[in-house]
Structure 1
């Protein structure tokens, strides 16, 4: 595991903790740093991190607080407060 991958995972856990403590601006900064680090080093973000962050506003999503989760015909629809929707398949 490279240093960049370790740092991305650490930033993901920091974003999760900050969001749980209602420090949304701090969590957004951690998400932006992790995305930038992944782009710079040509790495992919962990799946869990991608699913719990909004692509449009970089906020860490907390279902029931700032995100709505619905099931529709074989996929999960996650809607952020900004209006952005993400769809993920399930079986």
Structure 2
């Protein structure tokens, strides 16, 4: 594991903790930092990180609190951000 991947993982943990304490601005800053680290080092973000962050407003999403999570008959999950209304879909 590279230093960048370790830093991204740590920022993911910090964003999760900040979101749990309802400090959305701090959680957004951690998400932005993690994305910048990934871009600069040309490494991808972990799947769990991508699924629980909003691409539009950089919010860290917690299902049932900041995001609506629904499953659809077509075999995919739909996550809607409560902050900006952006929608994400991925197969299951």
What's the TM-score, normalizing by structure 2? 0.95
Which whole-Å deviations, capped at 9, do the CAs of 1:57-82 have from their partners, x for residues lacking one? Answer: 00000111111001112100000021
Gaps of 5+ in 1: none
Question: How far does residue 7 in structure 1 lie from its aligned partner after superposition?
Answer: 0.3
Figure out how many residues of one structure are paired with residues of the other and give that number.
90
Secondary structure (helix, strand or coil) at the match of 1:68 reads: strand
Q: Within 2, Cα distance between the matches of 1:60 and 1:31?
A: 7
Gaps of 5+ in 2: none
Q: Within 1, Cα distance between the matches of 2:11 and 2:66?
A: 20
Match of 1:34 in 2: 34
What's the TM-score, normalizing by structure 1? 0.96
Q: Within 2, Cα distance between the matches of 1:3 and 1:66?
A: 30
**RMSD, aligned α-carbons:** 0.6
Question: How far does residue 42 in structure 1 lie from its aligned partner after superposition?
Answer: 0.3
Q: Within 1, Cα distance between the matches of 2:26 and 2:85?
A: 21
- Which ranges of 4 or more aligned residues in structure 1 deviate by more than 6 Å? none
